[in-house]
Amino acid sequence: MSVDSETIFCYHCRTHHPKAEMRLLVTKTGKRWRCLRSIEATKQGKAAREAYGREMTETNKAEARSKARLLNAHQ
């Protein structure tokens, strides 16, 4: 997904989403944007939260590996 003025960064899953899929939440560290998918995952109980967390961890690791391969290929 391209990053532009129509997307907002979700601090929870660390990706950009369309504005319509985001909500501004007040946290103890201030206001932060969070996607509806991550908000709904937290309402479904501990097992669903953990499954969502594992999914996001794997997605983030795969993205990091991909970026590392690209960086290594350019060096």
1, pLDDT greater than 70: no
Long-range contacts at 13-20 (CB < 8 A, ≥ 24 apart): 13/37, 13/38, 13/56, 13/59, 14/56, 14/60
Q: Residue 58: pLDDT band by 50, 70, 90 thresholds?
A: very high
33, two tokens: 């944007």
Which pair of structure tokens corresponds to residue 39? 């908000």
Give yes or no for residue 26 having a pLDDT over 60: yes
Tell me the pLDDT band of 4, cut-offs 50, 70 and 90.
low
* More confident: 68 or 3: 68
Above 80 in pLDDT, residue 5? no
Dihedral angle over CA of 55, 60, 66, 68, nearest 10: -150
